[in-house]
Each structure stands twice: as structure tokens, then as C-alpha cells.
Amino acid sequence: MRFDLLAGTISLPLASVPHAPVVLVFDSGLGGLTVLAEVQRARPDARVVYAADDAAFPYGDLTETALVERVIAVMDRLITRHAPDLVVIACNTASTLVLPALRRQFAIPFVGTVPPIKPAAAATRSGLVSVLATPGTVRRDYTRDLIETYAGACAVTLVGATRLAGFAEAELAGAPVKDADLAAEIAPCFVRAGEARTDVVVLACTHYPLLLRRFERLAPWPVTWIDPAPAIARRMAQLLGPAIPEVGGAPAVAAFTGGDRITPALRGALAARGLDAVTVEAMPLRRQ
């Protein structure tokens, strides 16, 4: 699979969108909220639907076959209900496994998410770069291909954090984890090699920027943290074309497929991001 480092597999720009576009931002849970903010900033005229397939969270627990089938089924329902002009897959795991199938199934553009390894390699001065990801992303051949292609001159440490996505979900739900637990998850990112030490960390899961302020406080030394969300929004804007002047977007909507973890604290966090309308479009996961 060929990836565009502006955050997605290559797609042609839309011929024209004569109305304020509808953009669907999709993730397994709450990580895509980091992308949502950049999407809204890039296209304030858009009507945005944030869709969280929380009934199947975390996607890393599914087999590849089950994940592809699940995302296609959920996407079919979402596209039928919301008629988006463009879909942002704000999830590394879903992007790498499901984008080709989504493009075959649906005749609308999809923008995916890939670890921003190329900008990390350009930013490092020490040559020591860490990629903080989920175990699934660490295992993917595409991650290693990106490193070989764009960071061959760097020493890259792959860190598959097993609990961080869940910690980010808990944080927004009003149950933040202890500093020590967070520090233990990010500690392998910080590597010394003689006088050199890690100076760039790639956030290769959209959940992780939700915890960025705490990462910065708990890090043993300052590093550059690279968040892919701005590049994803730029790619979306390229595909949609110019914004419609003097048009404000309709209120954003959040749709969950499960809703079991929607606490008052989470509703407050969603409202702070412009998601006052929260719906549950129940779609239980049938585990294989």
C-alpha cells in the first residue's frame, strides 16, 4: 500500500463541493477528538460528525479479518445516516488495514492516519527518535517501511504501549490515572546513546495527544512531540478545496456505537469540543 505522508493513501481532490461539506471523523473511541479540533479549525464551514465505534474499543483486540468487517459494517451505517462528503479515519490501526476495502466499497474520499515518521526524521538533531504507538501499529510492516524509507539515518525505537489508549479514555471520562502509571508507559521512549539522547517522539496513536500535557510534565527531559492531527486536517482541506466564505458550520454531532462509558465528565469534555449533541446509534460487536 502506498501512503501519502500528508496523512492518507493517495486520493484525487473532489471536483467541487458546492455546499458546506459534511465531514465524518471516525475512530474506535475518543482519540479522534485530537483530529476533530484540527478539522474544525481547517474547515470552519463544515458540518462535522464525530463517530466513535466504542462498542468495539479497542480495535487492537480484534483479528484483522474481524476488524475489516466491523469497520465496513459501521461505516456503511454511518454513511447512510449522515451522507458525508469526506471521511477522516482518525485511527492508525483502521487506516492501515481497512482503507483499501473502504475505498472499494464507498465512492467518497477517505483520509487516513499514518505515523509522522518523515517529519520526525527531519526534526531530530540527536538522531534518536521514538515512535510511541499501540502494539498493533508497532507490528505493522507499513510502520517499518516508513522508518526504512524516511528515517534510515536515525536510530528509531518502537514503543508499543499497551495501556495508553485506555488511559486517555479514562482521562476524558473523569477518571485520570496516576502519574506513575503514565510515566511507566512512556519511559521506554527516552533512550541514551553515549552523549546523545532521544529528542523527538512520534505520537502514533490519535489517543495519545489527549495526554500530551501530562507527557510533557512527566518526561525525564524535554523532547519534540509530533502529533499527526494538523497534517490530517491539511490533507482533508486539500481534498475538499477552498472553504465557502462567510459560512459557519452547523453544530457538530457525536455518535457512539456503544455508549456504556459516556459519563457526565465525558459529556462535559465533548461539549468543550463543540459536541453538545451526543447520540448512541447502538451497534453491538459480535465477536468472532
Q: Beta-carbon neighbour count of residue 3 at 10 Å?
A: 20
Whole-prediction pTM = 0.89
Whether residue 85 contacts residue 249, with contact meaning beta carbons closer than 8 Å, is answered with no
Q: Which residue has the cell 475512530?
A: 27
Q: What is the pLDDT of residue 2?
A: 32
Alpha carbon distance 265, 278 (integer Å): 13
Q: Which residues in the chain land under pLDDT 70?
A: 1-18, 245-249, 287-288
Alpha carbon distance 144, 166 (integer Å): 25
Alpha carbon distance 225, 242 (integer Å): 30
Q: What is the pLDDT of residue 4?
A: 40
Q: Beta-carbon neighbour count of residue 205 at 10 Å?
A: 28
Positions marked active-site:
91, 205
| Closest by Cα among 116, 120, 115, 166 to 138 | 115
Q: What is the pLDDT of residue 222?
A: 97
Q: What is the pLDDT of residue 14?
A: 52
Angle of helix 33-42 versus helix 229-240 axis, rounded to 10:
40
